[in-house]
């Protein structure tokens, strides 16, 4: 569980996060939604410790990050996995090399132990015959799978995903969303996902917070989001023409 208490983050004059307080539960897919530029990436980078908020605290299962020593922070970081928006795979390494990298860096496992673990996670994300390919040689969906495999190879307690299905076709996007949800439940991970995709909201939005201009406008579940009266949220939810039509039909039918 991650608890965020009143965090603020600015870059120069730009006040990006303006006092966000929320909680992300274990074993659930927690969604952060909002328009582009609303501060989702900055928020997730604060959760990762890549950015330090000027104000407020973030605690991970009771451990407040800013109160930990350097080495404790590093240990905590090793319990985190991150799937970046563009996958951020290392171009110079094969698929296998990418997934093996954290093990090589931080464990004393033997070559065969590492190989077993790499094979296991790649199989878990349904990648079977791409072990020796380079990131540039595989599709966007496969790259995302590799990124997920790399993020979970160290058995993280916390998993962060920045728009994991951006740039994917809708079908692949749902597969990736479902994969993240399965892994979250299987290993009881605290997962936080940035998204601006309504499909993700419907598919895996167990807990949702809606950000607007660095402020938490709304929170709830994907059942509640369609019933809310919050103008900003409904604008976001029904920003797609398809959803607008569906809603129109729903209202007409009801009357």
Ligand X SMILES: Nc1ncnc2c1ncn2[C@@H]1O[C@H](COP(=O)(O)OP(=O)(O)O)[C@@H](O)[C@H]1O
Q: Quick check: 40 binds ligand X (CB under 6 A)?
A: yes
For the bound state, the minimum distance from the C-beta of residue 48 to other proteins, rounded and expressed in Å, comes to 5
| Residue 117 contacts ligand X per CB under 6 A | no
Under the criterion CB under 6 A, does residue 38 sit at the interface with ligand X?
yes
DSSP per-residue codes, 113-134: HHHHHHHHHHHHTT--S-TT--
Contact status: 11 vs ligand X (CB under 6 A): yes
Placement of tokens 């740039």 in the chain: 167
201 binds, among ligand X, Mg ion, other proteins, none (CB under 5 to 8 A by kind): none
CB of 84 to other proteins, least distance (A): 4
- With CB cut-offs between 5 and 8 Å by kind, which of other proteins, Mg ion, ligand X, none does residue 11 bind? ligand X
Q: Tell me which stretch binds ligand X (CB under 6 A): 38-46, 137-145, 225-233, 243-251.
A: 38-46
Query: What's the rounded Cα separation, in Å, for the pair 132 and 100?
Result: 12
Kindly report each contact of residues 126-133 with a partner whose C-beta sits within 8 Å and lies 24 or more positions away, as own/partner. Answer: 126/179, 127/95, 130/95, 131/94, 131/95, 131/96, 132/94, 132/95, 132/96, 133/94, 133/95
Tokens coding 88: 């951020």
- Chain centroid to CA 237: 19
User: Is residue 161 a contact residue for ligand X (CB under 6 A)?
Assistant: no
Binds 38: which of ligand X, Mg ion, other proteins, none (CB < 5-8 Å by kind): ligand X
By C-beta, is 38 or 184 nearer to ligand X? 38
Answer yes or no: are the C-beta atoms of 179 and 145 closer than 8 Å: yes
Report if residue 41 touches ligand X, rule: CB under 6 A. yes
Smallest distance from ligand X to CB 39, Å: 4
Q: Which residues bind other proteins (CB under 8 A)?
A: 45, 48-50, 74, 77-78, 80, 82, 84-86, 88-91, 101-102, 104-106
What whole-number distance in Å separates Cα of residue 36 and Cα of residue 195? 9
Residue 53 interacts with which of other proteins, Mg ion, ligand X, none, CB < 5 to 8 Å by class: none
Single out the residue of 167, 159, 169, 164 nearest to residue 145, CA to CA.
164
Interface residues with ligand X (CB under 6 A) are 11, 14, 16, 34, 36-42
């Amino acid at each position: 569980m991650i608890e965020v208490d009143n965090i603020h983050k600015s870059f120069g004059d730009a006040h990006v996060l303006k006092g966000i307080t929320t909680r992300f539960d274990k074993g659930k897919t927690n969604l952060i939604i909002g328009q582009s530029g609303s501060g989702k990436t900055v928020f997730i980078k604060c959760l990762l410790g890549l950015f330090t908020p000027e104000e407020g605290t973030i605690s991970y299962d009771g451990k407040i990050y800013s109160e930990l020593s350097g080495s404790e922070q590093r240990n905590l970081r090793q319990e985190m996995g991150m799937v970046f928006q563009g996958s951020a795979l290392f171009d110079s390494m094969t698929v296998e090399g990418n997934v093996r990298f954290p093990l090589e860096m931080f464990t004393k496992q033997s070559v065969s132990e590492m190989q077993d673990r790499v094979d296991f996670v790649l199989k878990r994300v349904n990648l079977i015959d791409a072990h020796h390919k380079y990131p540039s040689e595989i599709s966007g969906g496969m790259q995302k799978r590799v990124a997920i495999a790399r993020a979970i190879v160290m058995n993280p307690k916390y998993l962060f995903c920045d728009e994991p299905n951006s740039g994917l076709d809708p079908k692949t996007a749902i597969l990736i969303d479902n994969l993240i949800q399965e892994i979250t439940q299987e290993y009881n991970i605290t997962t936080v996902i940035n998204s601006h995709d309504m499909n993700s909201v419907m598919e895996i939005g167990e807990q949702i917070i809606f950000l607007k201009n660095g402020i938490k406008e709304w929170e709830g579940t994907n059942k509640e989001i369609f019933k809310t009266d919050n103008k900003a949220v409904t604008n976001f939810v029904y920003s797609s023409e398809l959803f607008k039509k569906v809603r129109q039909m729903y209202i007409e039918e009801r009357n």
